[in-house]
Structure 1
């Protein structure tokens, strides 16, 4: 597994175009990978997940993949060469009981039935569709449920609350020009700590992502040593 860090030039016309349109950003990221044949989407074939983080100095774009990417054609897009690391040795250290700091941008949603239309945790439009979860406590509950399915837990902090903070981002959109569809994603940023409970399930989640909208900047779980 590979993790690339890219440092976009925020004054670049191409980056500003991508920043304003999720589908353009998706296309730029996939340009770093070989074309594929068959019915499997290229993103799935190469195991691509990505996240755009805002920093004090601009933005950092993280791209995770099974295939080693080639970013050399994006010299005009970046302020410095991309940094790509092989994470295989790090993945081998992930064992049950280990506590790690994490960051995740996700699209927490809930599928509503007719009787759920007045659910205060969600906003939305049509019945039987997915709706974004908007209340912070419900966003955290969504992540805790995901954790239980994906081989980790969110521990409690000194205040007995789950050790995670959420920040909601403005709605992101994109235009699928080949289909004429508009993509809308309500991103939530999670920062906190997790404890691995099942190595196999956890590494699968690490490789494949968490939640919906994985093609559009959601689902990538990045890890760091626990902050004491």
Structure 2
């Protein structure tokens, strides 16, 4: 796996197009990866995950992929500086039971709402979670599935801050069949402890939650500061 850090040029017309349409951003990023010949869906085959962060110096795009991307394929002027790409072998090798790590995750927390009068075989409607307590509960459940727990913080609650993100907008299809995509995301910043290294490594590789093609699911890690 590879992790790339890309400083973005907000004056770039191509970037502004992608910023306004998350589906276009997905296409741009898929375009820097090798062609898929296996017949598998391209995003899944390459394990593409990405996240757009706002920093003190501007927008920073984090991109994780199974294949090494060719950033020369980006539109001219897309970047404000040099793209930095490094393998993630060391990160995977460092995963061990009880390992404490700082993390950031932009995710799409949701739940399924079922009509009690509907037939049992009907799955129900998936809705976004906006209440911070429900968003934290979603993270705790995902942690159980993905091999980690979020420890208690100094106030007795979970050692994580959750904050809302602006709605992610995109458009899928063309003409009359064009459909609007709206993703409600939340950003989690905090600490976690690895409980199941195999499940955690899989979550790191494949992402957490839904809307992975649209800037959600990438789990970034760092050592815990003393």
Could you state the TM-score of these two structures normalised by the residue count of structure 2?
A: 0.93
Residue 28 of structure 1: how far off its partner (Å)? 0.9
2:163 paired residue number: 167
**Residue 168 of structure 1, CA deviation:** 0.5
| Alignment partners' CA distance in 2, 1:149 and 1:38 | 29
1:54 aligns with 2:50: no
2:90 is aligned to 89
Deviation larger for 53-62 or 177-186 = 177-186
Name which of 114, 124, 128 aligns with 2:124.
128
SS at match of 1:80: coil
**Does 1:215 pair with 2:216?**
no
In structure 2, the gaps of 5 or more residues are 118-122
Instruction: For 1:157 and 1:104, locate their aligned partners in 2 and report how far apart those are by CA, in whole Å.
Output: 18
1:124 aligned residue: none
How far apart are residue 20 of structure 1 and its match? 0.7
The equivalent residue for 1:225 is 223
Q: Tell me which stretches of 4 or more aligned residues in structure 1 moved more than 3 Å.
A: none
What is the distance in 2 between the residues matched to 1:170 and 1:77?
A: 22
Q: Partner residue of 1:69?
A: 69
Listed one character per residue, the Cα deviations across residues 94-152 of structure 1 (whole Å, up to 9, x for unaligned) are 10101000000000001100149xxxxxxxxxx92210001001100100000011000
In the other structure, the counterpart of 1:24 is 24
Range that drifts further, 63-72 or 34-43 = 34-43
Secondary structure at 1:62 match in 2: strand
Instruction: Give the secondary-structure state (helix, strand or coil) at the position aligned to 2:188.
Output: strand
Q: Secondary structure at the match of 2:163?
A: strand
| Structure 1 segments unaligned to the other structure (5+ residues) | 117-126
2:80 and 2:3 map into 1 onto residues whose CA distance is 18
Secondary structure of the equivalent of 1:193? strand
CA shift at 1:171, angstroms? Answer: 1.3
